[in-house]
Amino acid sequence: MTVTGIEAISFYTPQTYVSLDALAERHGIDPAKFSRGIGQEKIALPGPDEDIVTMAAEAVMPIIERVGSQGIDTVLFATETGIDQSKAAAIYVQRLVQLSPNCRCVELKQACYSATAALQLACSYVARKPDRKVLVIASDIARYDRDSSGEATQGAGAIAMLVSAQPKVQEVGAISGLFTEDIMDFWRPNHRRTPIFDGKASTLRYLNALVEAWKDYQANGGLPYDAFDRFCYHVPFSRMGEKANSHLAKANKMPNAMEKVQPGLVYNRQVGNCYTASLYLAMLSQLENSDEDLTGSTIGLFSYGSGASGEFFDTKVMPGYRDHLFAEAHKRLIEDRIAVSYEDYVTLWDGMDLTQGAPDTARGRFRLDRIEDDKRIYVDRNA
């Protein structure tokens, strides 16, 4: 069978953030509830001229600059912050990063899960056509109502993965465990900017889906629990990743090994939830924040999307993977950010009318310049 997986992986997050200490102070909450109770430090905030498309293009560009775009004939854009009910966000990215017009571009949706569906579809496709490559993009802005229990778990970011039959970073295993149940733990009707959710119930459904997907993975001939060197989970907030890790260990009657999950939570703590991108940010964080060389390590991934779908699968880290990462650039992106006050966070959260043009605040190359006749006009500063 053709080996398929991730040839390159890149991340982007906006320059602005609000600290959870500022949020706690404003709401009269003990800051430890956020730092320890949910395990988060910062909420990444996009500027008025940034959205899922500009973040996605920023994430893709380093891959194109290093590897080129030869062979890419498909862009799968996973998001639950869609900007249009009809047109796929992938098409804007295809133009901005100058991919061939002989390219299929689609958007996928199933809450935070859809990037995993995209990754699996991409692997199957390149197994059939090993000379082709697929760009899998996960880009989201996690926004909850202010003063809701979810407010502290907001964030924003994009992951881009080049999927091919020459996986230089990680091979994606062929066996998956799947689980779907029709529930209302978190959803966002078309007319709403923010989701409706039952926070506590959603955490329980997530843990249930993890065990059910794991059982299906085992039934399908998956690796035993002790074959895994690391685990990465969907991370709406980092304590959820820790809870998932101990839940899976308990279900397997094994001791809870926090060191198998911890390096994968470093970036998420600083960025916040980025829905579809969160699991892959955790995976990237494992690769870029583990002191030891992970070559040959087996990493288990659990993807969860409310509503709800879960999938458990395995990946193997390739020899020389470090040479194909963008670790220094990612660390700079996370370190070189600007904290805003609670008041400025509220202004950004409220959004603004962009018909007269958006203020130029994005740190990246791509900007949403304005919305004209309901058309989103993106610009490339280098054009």
- Report in angstroms how near the CB of residue 82 gets to ligand CAA at its nearest: 16
When binding is defined by CB under 6 A, the residue of 98, 149, 347, 355 that contacts ligand CAA is 149
| Residue 240 binds to ligand CAA (criterion: CB under 6 A) | yes
Residue with smaller CB distance to ligand CAA, 37 or 130: 37
Sites for ligand CAA among residues 247-306 (CB under 6 A): 273, 275, 304, 306
Q: Is 234 a catalytic residue?
A: yes
| Residue 1 binds to ligand CAA (criterion: CB under 6 A) | no
When binding is defined by CB under 6 A, the residue of 236, 241, 263, 264 that contacts ligand CAA is 236
The type of residue at 293 is D
Q: Is 80 a catalytic residue?
A: yes
Catalytic-labelled residue, pool 58, 107, 112, 123: 112
Residue with smaller CB distance to ligand CAA, 4 or 268: 268
Residue with smaller CB distance to ligand CAA, 48 or 241: 241
| Residue 74 binds to ligand CAA (criterion: CB under 6 A) | no
Residue with smaller CB distance to ligand CAA, 234 or 337: 234
Catalytic-labelled residue, pool 7, 50, 80, 171: 80
Residues that bind ligand CAA (CB under 6 A): 30, 32-33, 36-38, 112, 149-150, 153, 186, 197, 199-200, 202-203, 206, 234, 236-237, 240, 273, 275, 304, 306
